[in-house]
Amino acid sequence: MEVPVGFFAKLWSFISFLPFFFLLFLLGLLKGLVIGPIVTVIIAVGNSAVVIGLWPAHFIWTYFCVAKSKKLGWVLKISLLVSLPVPLILWPILAIIGSVLGGIGYGFFAPLIATFEAIGENITCKIYHCFADGCISTIKGSCTVVRDFTDFCFHSYFSYMDELSEEMYPDEKRIEVKLSKLPSCILVSLLAIPVDVPFITALALWKSPFMLLRGWKRLLEDLIGREGPFLETVCVPFAGLAIFLWPLAVAGFVVASFFSSFALALYSGVVVHQEESFQLGLAYILAAVSIYDEYTNDLLDMREGSCYMRPKYRRNMSSSGGLDSKSSIELRNEKEKEGSHSLKLVSHGSRTLKQAIQQYTPMQVWGWLFKSCEVNGRILLREDLIDVKDIEECIVKGDCKKLGIKLPAWTILQCLLASAKSDSSGLLISDEVELTKSNWPKDKVFEWFLAPLLVMKEQIKKLQLEEDEEIILRKLVMCYKNERPEEWDNTGFPSTDTVRRAQLQAVIRRLQGIVGSLSRAPTFRRRFKNLVKVLYLEAIQIGLVADTDGGSSKSGNRNRHRVEGDRKNTDEGEQDQQSSRDDDSIV
């Protein structure tokens, strides 16, 4: 679709677009009103049943693990045991309220957005998809939400508690709270709430009109001039939807600011304990308002820094009370180097479609991980480095702890080896895709996981591994604990240097720790079990299941029928969800 040039051409493009948008919006609204109550009931009833059913176990097990843990000092342990009833009693109430609100939002907006996605350029029979998309897929998605929530409450929770009650390493220190500082920490936190919460909420309310008007201005300019994210025809309907729903985003900004103000206020108690100073805690109460003001100014491309004073609340930091704070100056210099015009919101936010595609999403990286695990799993299965019994235990008993840690750890390690060998500045996740700091997901959670991988890649690059060492590493990752260099004595590892072995084992253990944290994500368990079912079918094809069962296969046939049935349902669900999507998503 050609971009209109001139005032009248842009005006006509805007006027002719309005009827088309409102028809789609009314259709999506109708679908949301029909599908929304069904989805809300599924999510609310399902999640509430899980929360209420597991609440006695959560209550008892939390107390048991906290009391048993050796990682917590006595003062902190007693404080937690006394204060735990409050969050444990609030947990089911908040979970049920959140499930209802989440079900309403998902049930209404998912069909609405699917209606607009159905008119994409790569979609055939657009009229059918406008009516059909977002109905059955949203109901199936609500069931998936309940399943992922169940995995989190049942598996992820107990995994966290097991880690808390594990034995300490010799060089590990207990987490302790100084009893003498505890009253001052509580006092400062109580003083911070009535100061920071009203001020931050007032700032959010004051800046919300600026956010609303600037956002509308940029979206309208992009829509009429066909710039930025609305350069392509497929994106045009989303322009009207974004303009229409932008006030909801502004309202969400205000609500999020209100709740985050409590976290900023309570952090003052942490400052008192860390700095061992009541005065610095009081200084942080005033500085928190300035920190929030500066952050929102940068977010909205308003004047840099903050007009509020920021007293020194750390012993090793420089006081900054003016507009030119350190973070703002660094951000300004960075933008000037990149040639960005940060003073104009429209210029800052507009991008071409090609640039938008180069920015990878968390779900794309997540999808690459499981796709690579599937490919590596097939290879390791044929090389007898994956035991079929581990696959069967994961499918039948749900015990995926061993396989769910070692297989992703080897997959990520293989990526690090390839990236180090190719002298890549980032992570080489495929032959054509390189993940760097400029294009990886702008998500703090993913940055916490990806940043250590870059450090480990540099460590591997310095080791300069030989090809025979890389080949034997897959066996060492999959079959050994890698706790001591002596474990590799009879493994055939070429190098006898204990320091070199210890460095590699440290990288492997750290990777397994990262994967262990990733495995607690709600979607990880569901997607990994689907992956294991694929590996089980692969084991059937190459005859490993028959060999394991000794020729007879009643249990093998039962598992086969279960896996094939689940795999068929999974494939059908994925086809329904992806039928109206373009090739940009790789999940």
* Both structure tokens of 39: 């989805």
- From the list 291, 436, 416, 443, the residue with the least C-alpha distance to 361 is 443
The CA–CA distances, whole Å, from 274 to 178, 314, 343, 368, 527 equal 10, 9, 38, 40, 40
Q: Look at the block and give the residue holding tokens 């985003």.
A: 249
* Both structure tokens of 8: 């009248």
Whether the CB-CB separation of 301 and 210 falls below 8 Å is answered with: no
Whether the CB-CB separation of 364 and 585 falls below 8 Å is answered with: yes
Q: Look at the block and give the residue holding tokens 């079990």.
A: 529
Q: Which amino acid is at 389?
A: K
As a whole number of angstroms, the distance between CA 404 and CA 488 comes to: 23
The rounded average pLDDT for each run of 10 residues, N- to C-terminus, in the chain (587 residues) is 55 67 86 94 96 95 92 87 92 94 93 82 77 91 94 90 82 80 89 93 91 83 54 54 84 91 91 89 91 85 79 73 42 44 38 47 84 90 88 85 88 89 82 76 74 88 85 85 81 84 88 88 88 90 65 47 52 44 35
As a whole number of angstroms, the distance between CA 393 and CA 548 comes to: 13
User: What is the Cβ-side half-sphere exposure of residue 48, based on CA atoms within 13 angstroms?
Assistant: 15
State residue 91's pLDDT score. 94
User: What is the Cβ-side half-sphere exposure of residue 350, based on CA atoms within 13 angstroms?
Assistant: 18
- From the list 404, 383, 408, the residue with the least C-alpha distance to 395 is 404
Instruction: Specify burial of residue 220 (Cβ count, 10 A radius: 0-12, 13-18, 19+).
Output: middle
State residue 17's pLDDT score. 66
State residue 162's pLDDT score. 87
Q: Which amino acid is at 26?
A: L
User: What is the Cβ-side half-sphere exposure of residue 484, based on CA atoms within 13 angstroms?
Assistant: 4
Residues 6 or more apart from 421 whose CB is under 8 A from it? Answer: none
| b/e per residue 222-235 (b: at least 16 CB within 10 A) | bbbbbbbbbbeebb
State residue 336's pLDDT score. 42
* Both structure tokens of 485: 């260099």
Structure-derived torsion over alpha carbons of residues 301, 305, 310, 313, reported in degrees to the nearest 10: 80
Q: What is the tally of helices (H) and strands (E) in the chain? A: 21, 2
pTM: 0.74
State residue 261's pLDDT score. 92
State residue 426's pLDDT score. 82
As a whole number of angstroms, the distance between CA 269 and CA 262 comes to: 12
Continuous segment of H or E residues that includes residue 427: strand 427-428
